[in-house]
Amino acid sequence: MLQLWAQHNEHRIPWGKLAEYTDLKLFGGRNISLLLEIYFLRLLEYLFLFWMFHRSGVSRAQMLTVLGFALFCIYYPIQIENFCWGFQTVFVCLPAAACIAIGAAVLHGCSTSTQGSRSWWSWAMAASLCAGIVAETSLASGVFIWPILLIVSIIYRTPLKSKLLILYVGAMAVAAYLWGYVSPSQHSNPFSSLRQPVAVARYVLAYLAFSWDPKLPDSSAWPTFFQLIAICAIAVVAVALVKALLFGPKTGQLQIFLACYATFLLIVAASTALGRVSFGVEQATSSRYQSLALDFWACVGGILVLWRCGSRTSSSRLVEIQTLMFVLLIASVPRFTSAASGAEARQHALEEGWRQVTQSPSTAAGVLYPLPIPEAYAYLRFHHLGPPMQLPLDATGAVTRPEGLRVNGYRILPPADCEGWLDSVKKVSGKEGEITAAGWAWNAKPAKRPNRVLLADARGDVMNTTDVNVPRPDVPKAIPHIRDVNTGWVLTTHAQPGAVVRAFAVSDDSTAVCPLTGTFKLQ
């Protein structure tokens, strides 16, 4: 239980850890159950949206328009990281739980405003509180579900006991979250980030606009077209929330639900910016955040349909909204290919990490995605599962790397002086004996990217060198203390079948090299 509640970065993610342990224990650690859970959670959220629209009494045409757009948003491949990596259950559990919590709170509010008894308790209230707890224990930003539930209660003028119950449960849940909490040293201090409103705003706009703009992040000081659209969307949500607060239940349960859910998602984006603005705006375009951003756009689409069409269906007005949505969908199709490429790259990196652990344990410390591997390895070994091997440790408990390396003309630096990977070595199509190698590199002393890397064979002969200047935004996303995006490198050289190649970071004075993780034997 302590492991389930243990802090992960700034999060408490018992549900995500429990899902991983279940996958290891019952399904052999194949990720199948985790991926099924991810798709199920997205489906559950969609079905709940469908139910909310169906019972609201809006016209069939309006309902199909919004739900069609919502279906696209919920499964749009730009969020591919959440669809192909089992660890991401928490990133889809948060919006699903928050959606249900807010929707159930709206249903409770409707029941108190229509029943003469004005009951402070109902099954919907119970469901809302339970879903709120699940949201908070999915990601740290889930703590903001409690003020949103209180806002719903205020909008519906629910009995005082209902408000006090939300306050009590929310306070207990937040207290449990904060008990023993330690702020991650690599993250921005949220209070310090408040002094950088422009940087935070740019982060939030990139977070939202990346759903439709593949060119982000943009170095321009001026917002892009889709960032301007994001500003308009934020204004739409703000106006919808103010209307709900001013006019109460007369606003309509569906509009109240969409406004409150979109507000929650906007607060999540802002809290992410406050904690990660120091990583740069590039991190705002992470695929994992798009599940939340796309839900925000689905809510905005629903609000616009309700505003534009009102209680009666106007064919011409509805066609305007449908045309706008259709243009967005068509413009998004080319990004399917880039999403597939991103999924393949992540799959390759994870497979390479496991290959290094199982075939060359001494290189396991350099795995680009190390978080699941040591925990999963320890679990498998404890239950006598997996390959019969032990990870060699040095005196400090760190995983060691093989000795005996040499590069002719250079002295070898300790592996601790650098980080990096030889990610791939591929044959060049149509050119016999020619290969392309790619990876990333980072110097620990001093902390900066090296100017060059070289490729050497097993005899220590240098095969080729290249500069380190290729953008690799995935590296700072996975390793927070690396802030430089341009840590990647690509080089082309010749090699014979059977050759064993390794990559090395070259020192600034060009007299020494530091071994990067990864060894490839050409077939």
What are the residue boundaries of the structural domains of the chain, listed by start?
2-333, 337-402, 411-521
Q: What is the pLDDT of residue 151?
A: 96
Tokens of 122: 């109902």
Q: Which CATH superfamily, name and number, covers 411-521?
A: Immunoglobulins (2.60.40.10)
pLDDT tens digit sequence for 258-293: 999 999 999 999 999 998 888 788 888 888 899 999
pLDDT greater than 60 at residue 208: yes
Residue 187's SS3 state is: coil
Handedness of CA 206, 232, 188, 368 (dihedral sign): negative
- Which pairs from 480-483 meet CB under 8 Å and 24+ separation? 480/186, 480/187, 480/279, 481/186, 481/447, 482/419, 482/442, 483/278, 483/279, 483/280
More confident residue, 339 or 62: 62
Q: What is the pLDDT of residue 116?
A: 55
Query: Residue 380 pLDDT more than 80?
Result: no
- pLDDT, residue 404, reads 58
Q: How does pLDDT run across 147-157, given as a tens digit for each residue? A: 999 999 999 99
Q: Cα(406)–Cα(462) distance, rounded to whole angstroms?
A: 10
**Mean pLDDT, the chain, whole residue set:** 83
Buried b / exposed e across 392-423, counting CB within 10 Å, b at 16+?
Answer: eeeeeeebbbeeeeebeebebbebebbbbbbb
pLDDT at 381 over 70: no
Residue 169: partners with Cβ closer than 8 Å, 6 or more residues away: 129, 132, 133, 146
Q: How far apart are the first and last CA of the chain?
A: 47
DSSP 3-state helix, strand, coil percentages of the chain (rounded to 5)?
60, 15, 25
State residue 369's pLDDT score. 42
Of the CA atoms within 13 Å of residue 481, those in its CB half-sphere come to: 10
Residue 195 is predicted with a pLDDT of 87
Please tell me the predicted confidence (pLDDT) of residue 359: 52
**467-507 pLDDT, tens per residue?**
898 989 888 888 888 988 999 999 988 888 888 899 999 98
H/E element holding 426?
Answer: strand 418-427
Most confident of 92-106, 403-417, 449-463: 92-106
Neighbouring C-beta atoms of residue 46, cutoff 10 Å: 19
Report d(CA 148, CA 165) in Å as an integer. 14
pLDDT score of 356: 57
CB 453 within 8 A of CB 489: yes
Q: Tokens standing for 223?
A: 């917002």
3-state per-residue secondary structure call for 439-495: EEEEECCCCECCCEEEEEECCCCEEEEEECCECCCHHHHHCCCCCCCCCEEEEEEEC
- Each residue of 417-430: pLDDT tens digit? 899 999 888 888 88
Closest CA to 417 of 326, 511, 272, 514: 514
Read off the DSSP letter of residue 509: T
Classify 519 as helix, strand or coil: strand
Cis? peptide before 159, omega within 30° of 0: no
What SS3 state is found at 8? strand
Q: Which of 101, 84, 51, 151 has the alpha carbon at shortest distance from 291?
A: 84
Arithmetic mean of pLDDT, 132-147: 94
Is this structure's pTM higher than 0.85?
A: no
Measuring CA to CA, which residue among 218, 338, 283 is closest to residue 478? 283
Smallest CA-to-CA distance from 86 within 5, 23, 137, 26 is with: 23
> What integer pLDDT is reported at residue 390 of this predicted model?
38
> Residue 447, Cα to own-chain centre: how many angstroms?
26
pLDDT above 80 (res 60)? yes
